[in-house]
Amino acid sequence: MSSNTTHSNHVNHQQNAADNIINVSGFKPQICYIGQEQTPVIIIDNFADDLSTLLSIARQHAPFTKDDGSYYPGVRSPLPQRYAIEVINQVFQLIYDVYSVPHHLRIKPQILSFSLISQTPDSLMPLQRLPHFDTPEPYYFAILHYLNDAPHGNTAFFRHKNTGFERVDEARMDHYFKSAKAFLTDHAKDTPEYFVKSDRHYDIYHQIEYQANRLVIYPGNLLHSTLVNLSTDIDDNPHTGRLTANIFINFK
């Protein structure tokens, strides 16, 4: 997609750089092709020039509450719109190009939130104990910005052994869910725990290390999960927890 065709595709807000919560003066994306399906995942290290304003908002002004509308095992707070706009405007062209998003589709932001894992393993519901995908839609993407210093749990991608699926689209959903029930049956009587290692149902085939100011972009239909570090990650304090900024966008 040539640069002279992209103006109408970005989030339609104009701002002076001084008004931005972050400034991005240039970055070098790394494109990793992961798994047997060779799905592209975008990694951008040292994404923002300075995280101090964004961290200050998360730590001093963001009201973190339980997200009852999802299976996320923690608390969330709305992201500042100016930050989300700046991130999307920086990466939307890259997403169009890397994932061959059809030119006529336009960006539709879905969820914009700070996130902190806070649930202890014993409180997890069955579906929170296995890898998940966000949506079967083909052009839905997660933009994940790691904010606090490590060590915190990595983001892992999984292959479902019985089906071989690494991504779950509409055509695969019924088959996947029928097959994935075996995991829930297998572990129904086990003590609840986070899924952090391969087993006879799922293989971890790729991990992205949690690193402050690293931005990661991946399709929402990839099977994935946080490899929760029990000693550092279950923490609802935005100064010390596994703080991330999560931007989910769809192209329609």
Peptide bond before residue 121 is cis, with ω within 30 degrees of 0: no
Query: In which residue are the tokens 């749990």 written?
Result: 153
Query: Tell me, what's the pLDDT at 11?
Result: 52
> What is the chain's Cα-based Rg?
18
Task: Report d(CA 233, CA 47) in Å as an integer.
Answer: 22
Residue 17 has pLDDT above 50, yes or no: no
Where exactly are the structural domains of the chain? 29-251
Helices (H), the chain: 52-60, 81-98, 173-186
Query: Tell me, what's the pLDDT at 215?
Result: 98
Task: Report d(CA 144, CA 217) in Å as an integer.
Answer: 6
Residue 8 has pLDDT above 50, yes or no: no
Q: Say yes or no: domain 29-251 is CATH 2.60.120.
A: yes
Query: pLDDT tens digits, residue range 25-68?
Result: 889 999 999 999 999 999 999 999 999 999 999 999 879 999 88
Strand pairing partners for 207? 156
Averaged pLDDT score across all residues of the chain: 91
Query: Tell me, what's the pLDDT at 58?
Result: 96
Residue 19 has pLDDT above 80, yes or no: no
- Sequence-distant (≥ 6) Cβ neighbours of residue 220 within 8 angstroms: 133, 134, 135, 137, 140, 141, 142, 248
| Cβ–Cβ under 8 Å, residues 93 and 6 | yes
Query: pLDDT tens digits, residue range 85-117?
Result: 999 999 999 999 999 999 999 999 999 999 999
